[in-house]
Structures are given as structure tokens and as C-alpha cells.
Amino acid sequence: MRHHVELIYARKSRKLVGKKIVLAISGSVAAVECVKLARELIRHGAEVHAVMSPNAQKIIHPYAMEFATGNPVVTELTGSIEHVELAGEHSDKADLVLVCPATANTIGKIACGIDDTPVTTVVTTAFAHTPVMIAPAMHASMYEHPIVRENIAKLQRLGVEFISPRFEEGKAKVASTDEIVYRVIKKLHKKDLMGKRVLVTAGATREYIDPIRYITNASSGRMGVAMAEEADFRGAEVTLIRTRGSVQSFVENQIEVETVGDMLKAVESELGSRKYDVVVLAAAVSDFQVDGKADAKIKSGKTLILRLSPTPKIIDRVKKIQGDVFLVGFKAETSLGEDLLKAAKGQIERAGSDLVVANSLGAFGSDENEVILVGRNFVKRLPKMGKRELAERIWDEIVKLLG
């Protein structure tokens, strides 16, 4: 591995360590995004090899991709049979072929088994035994062409996964780098939650004073979203109940709420309509709501006295609806002391939580967290770490406890 690649290797996560990815680039102007994409895949631990069509080389120079990946770039097929070296059926083959960006022309050729560029030949070589993902990029009217749609549908039936484009300015633009990396990790990740259904809450609720003012807290929703996305990576069927204004997520099934009442209704609806295996209540739910919310904006410039009343405890409802669900609660106090441990154990006794993630209030809005995992018969203190890594550690614990 070249030095400039070593400097960024697995700096964001180790999700793709040991995975070899062929980045197959066709002749769309979106090819300019491939340097950033390759580097991001490497930051999660991937080994990336670029393969370029002749038209792609007119848009971005192979030297740029050689720099980005730290590996030689395949621009033509020679006696070294590069397509077989990368994608043939052998022990050192690629784990994934990612065609990005994919033009209508390239999609059509792949669908018809036409091999006249390094990109299409690598895909055909990989097709029978290696996952293929395609991220289209073209003008919107081309993407909607019935033959293009037919080619996409045909490839989907054959097991090819498509990463849908973003529709902006009359174009079907290639998906964002963050979304592509997310989908690649999800494709290649271990699937120790396959067959499990998981419900996660995330973010800070709002309790309105009047139509525009509300009581809330400093939670960003990062921890809850990290928990939901980690379960998604591991193969679970995930429903994320996320508050308005919290961080965005790539989990497919999301429900947006605002107030504690909204969240309670959503949780009860989900638990009442389908069976869940795990419920993770990571949202920072308000403990108080305003008595008598004003229907119109309250005039400024005078003292305002608010009367607050307790909100319902969502966690207390979960086991009353599904008694055998594995329940994960979050508990926050000012510091990681005895009061926090006492509160966590109290939640286990009161709500029937199977695991409590106890943390200090200093984690709110931060990218890092330091927690104590409290189970029915154990206490485990974890060092401070990023919330993504922490989500991995928590799910490892849950998987172990699920048996």
C-alpha cells in the first residue's frame, strides 16, 4: 500500500477492512466524483482498484485515480487479463464491482452482455459469482426512457443492486458519496442480525409553548441514528423513528415525529402492528410538556410563566405491548457516577429493560460518548469512543445477549 493511502486507510472505520472493491468508471461527467469516492472507501478500510472506460478517461485522467486508490488503473485489457485478475473466480477476486457512475450506454451494454470496454468486460467476468452494484448518472429524460428502465429492471431481476440517483436540475445525478459508501458497507457487512426486526428512536423531542416556540434539549440524534444504521448494516429490518431536526439517516424505513406524544403514538403503532425482536429507545425524550399550549404566538416583552407537567414514559409502554421484546434503554445523568448506575438499574426494574446504555449529559450533541452498559446481572464500562464505534460495541453486546 502506498504511503499516501496508508495515511487515510481505515481512519473512519474498519467496516471494509479485508474487502477488495473494483470501482468501474464509465463516461459520465460524474466521474469527477470518483477520486473522493475511492478515498472514502479506503477511509473505511477497503482496497480499491479503478477500471476506466475510454470515455471516462476523457473526463478524469487515470493518474487521478491512481493517486486516489494507490493502485495501477486498468484502462485497457492486455495479455495480463486484468479483468480475470480482478474479477475472475479465484481466491483473490474482488468482493464487489461498483459501476459508478454508470451511463445509460453502459447499463444497456451490461444488460445485453456486450463487452467492448474494460468496464463492461469486468462486470461480465464478475457477474456469476461477485456482487455488482450500479450507480446511474445521466440526464433525467434518459433515465426515464422505457428501454433504460427495462434494462435496469432486467439487471435487478438478475441480482444487480442499483443505487438510485438524485433528481436535480433536470438530471439524474449520481447518488452522494456518503450514500454510496453506506450502501457498499451494507452490502459487504456481516449479517448477524439477518431475520431480526429492530425499532429505534433517535433525536430530541419538542414540546411546544406556542406555534413557533418549544422546549427541547441538546441531543443531535447521532447515537440513535448510529444504532439504527449499524442494525441496518447487519441485516436487520429496521424502522427508525426520528425527530424533526435530528441528523439525517440512510435507513430506508423512517417515521418523523416532533413531540413525546407523537413518538409514543408511533412506537405504540409499530409494536401493535408487527412483531419486533429488539427495541432501542435512544431518543432524548422530554420529561416535561407545557400545560395549555398557546394557539397563537405569545407577544414578547413581558414575563412569561410556564406550567409544566410530566410527559408519559415511552419505555414503560414497550413491554406492556410486546412482553418478550429485547428492550434497550438509554439513561443520561450529569456524570458517570453512582447516581447514574442507580438510575439505570431502576429502569431495568421499572420498565423491564434488558440492557441500559448509561451515559453523561456531556455526550449530547457530541461525536463521542463514554458509557456504562448495565444489564440484569452485569455492569461493563466502555472507554470514550466515537458514536459509530460505540454503536458497533453495543450491538455486539446485544447479539451476544440474544444468543
Show which of 188, 217, 232 is a domain's final residue.
188
* CATH code of the domain containing 231: 3.40.50.10300
Residues 72 and 208 in one domain: no
Taking only the tens place, the pLDDT of each residue in 358-378 is: 987 766 767 888 899 999 999
pLDDT of residue 34: 98
Show which of 168, 188, 208 is a domain's final residue.
188
pLDDT of residue 282: 97
- Is the pLDDT score of 13 beyond 80? yes
Q: Are 248 and 220 in contact (CB under 8 A)?
A: no
Residues 79 and 208 in one domain: no
Residues 157 and 285 in one domain: no
Residue range 278-304: average pLDDT? Answer: 95
- Is the pLDDT score of 335 beyond 90? no
Show which of 171, 188, 205 is a domain's final residue.
188
**Prediction pTM value:** 0.94
User: Residue 36: which domain range?
Assistant: 3-188
| % of the chain exceeding 70 in pLDDT | 99
Residue the block writes with cell 453495543:
394
Which DSSP string do the residues of 197-265 spell out, in sequence order? EEEEEESB--EESSSS-EE--S--SHHHHHHHHHHHHTT-EEEEEEETTSPP---SEEEEE-SHHHHHH
Residues 183 and 201 in one domain: no
Instruction: Look at the chain and count its residues.
Output: 403
pLDDT of residue 368: 83
